[in-house]
Amino acid sequence: MSLLKEIQKRKTFGIISHPDAGKTTLTEKLLLFGGAINVAGAVKNNKITKTATSDFMEIEKQRGISVATSVMAFDYKDKLVNILDTPGHRDFAEDTFRTLTAVDSVILVIDCVKGVEAQTRRLMEVCRMRNTPVIVFINKLDRDGRDPFDLLDELEEELSISVRPLSWPINMGRDFKGVYLLHNKTLNIFEASKTKKAKDYTSIDDLSDSRLDDLVGKKNADQLREDVELIEGVYEPFDQNLYKEGLLAPVFFGSAVNNFGVQELLDTFIEIAPSPLPRQTDVRKVEPTEPKFSGFIFKIHANLDPKHRDRIAFLRVCSGAFHRNKFYHQVRLDKDMRFSNPYNFLAQSKNVIESAYPGDVIGLYDTGNFKIGDTLTEGEEMTYKGIPSFSPEIFKEVINLDPMKSKQLEKGIDQLTDEGVAQLFRQNPGNRKYIGVVGELQFEVIQYRLEHEYGATCRFEALQFHKACWMTGEASKIDDFCQYRPKEIVIDKDGNRVYLASSPYVLQMARSNNPEVTFHETSEFKV
């Protein structure tokens, strides 16, 4: 198959949402409808003992939340679909933001009861930065929720994006009857089932058809007719080009836990979602159709299989074709590398692949050569841009509780921070280690994984810092600044000096008193 056909065959997207909106459940059901799994797991139902396929870390199974991005691939209707299921919890937002650099579109899951929430806004801001195409799935229609028109208004106001419903609910909660598919004029009658797929659709070309009254009752049928008339009058027809430009979001309604509304979402996604897109490097824009391979690392995960001390770097293929056992150039290290066992994934299930194409996400065994943001090419010196990096919001010092396990603790801290779950800073001189994170829950995950994957125990002691700031400017001026603040200067993993400001006022004063030094609240300036 030609490179162009391989590219056109692929659809790579991320699923994002506020916590508990049903994102991981929807991921499971997409895998179920795509034929990738036979039984869908339940994330929060204690009666079902099988946990969600995409939640493979032990702590995820215990807590019922996603704390790491999962990568899954399956074939559906002659397309190869790559799903990246992201953490919803804000404490793991940085992993989600990085993942959004590796996808070509997203599905945003909204809880019909709660509507737009804080994390939803933050995630959409990242999508807006890259004009990422968005499909909205309004979930949990089997519960009594907000008025659908109110939800659409809120989406437009809060997320600064135009919407166009492609399906419409007939009631919700106990009175939920089903959805009418506006784009192909069919009716899908709701039947609560967590294991069966929805029944076949009923074609209703004309809403005045009396069969509609028989199927959902006259009152509901009349309300649907009124709603659809309003939709057609208020909302512009769906424009695929506006969707691909990130300006218009098609909206679907359903109940993921009951397998309802998922099929039409998946079918429409396959039809309208973009194939792999061009990507920007520090040198030029790279087209996916270029013959030479290139790609970038957006995630690193150690101990994916707890029985083996493996470390896997997740690479998004951006151009050309990746081939097993071929040498590729690691730009940052200026080193050629060969990969004998590249993998694709269904959660923790791995399959060795011979080749991969733009849009694919593959796993590469890593012995410590990769960092997040690294680029692989066939020799060209360029680096893919836009891997987000932020100043941590919470800082704590690592206190070793078992001096006999110092090496294990050192290795564990190094590998976990290489994964991007947290940032590591060291005091110099001295060997005090500070961990910086976005949210408190990350410390719990780090502590759990250190103990269960590396056999190391530690505690964290709170530090009163406000921001981590990377510094650029005249070297002598930076030296002078650091000389007078030795306790507030630390070294990051890349050997850069970082200023830890204790408060917003102190940071403001540092900026005012040192105009020759620029203080960056993100390490993005290095990219």
pLDDT 10s digits, 137-154: 999 998 999 999 999 999
* Domains of the chain, CATH where assigned: 10-168+236-272 (3.40.50.300), 279-377 (3.40.50.300), 394-526 (3.30.70.3280)
Q: What pLDDT score does 49 carry?
A: 36
Per-residue pLDDT at 231: 93
Predicted pLDDT of residue 87: 61
Region for residue 368 given its phi and psi (left: phi exceeds 0; alpha: psi -120 to 50; beta: otherwise): left
Question: Does residue 170 contact residue 212 with C-beta atoms inside 8 Å?
Answer: no
- Provide the pLDDT for residue 525: 54
How far is CA 347 from its chain centroid?
14
| Whole-angstrom distance, CA of residue 135 vs CA of residue 115 | 15
Q: What are 277-283's contacts with CB under 8 Å, separation 24+?
A: 277/104, 279/318, 279/384, 280/384, 280/385, 280/386, 281/375, 281/382, 281/383, 281/384, 281/385, 282/382, 282/383, 282/385, 282/527, 283/380, 283/381, 283/382, 283/383
What is the model's pTM? 0.77
Q: Which residues of 275-313 are buried (b: 16+ CB within 10 A; e: fewer)?
A: bbbebebeeeebebebeebbbbbbbbbbbbeeeeebbbb
What is the C-alpha separation between 455 and 149, in angstroms, rounded? 53
pLDDT (tens digit, 9 = 90+) per residue, 370-397?
888 899 999 999 999 866 566 788 999 9
Within 10 Å of residue 385's Cβ, how many Cβ atoms? 16
**Alpha-carbon distance values, 101 to 104, 127, 178, 202, 423 (Å):** 8, 9, 35, 39, 19
Q: What is the pLDDT of residue 31?
A: 83
CA nearest neighbour of 479 among 469, 471, 487, 491: 471
DSSP result, 227-293: HHHHHHHHSPPP-HHHHHTTSEEEEEE-BGGGTBSHHHHHHHHHHHS-----EEBSS-EE-TT-SS-
Residues of the chain with pLDDT below 70 are: 1, 36-70, 87-95, 191-201, 203, 302-310, 346-349, 386-390, 523-527
Residue 468 in 3-state DSSP? strand
How much is the pLDDT for 67?
36
Q: What is the pLDDT of residues 58-101, one digit of tens each?
A: 544 444 433 344 678 888 889 999 988 776 445 455 667 778 88
Give the pLDDT score at 431.
Answer: 82
**Which residue is associated with the tokens 């609240």?**
521
Residue 403: CB atoms within 10 Å: 7
For 37, the token pair is 């799994």
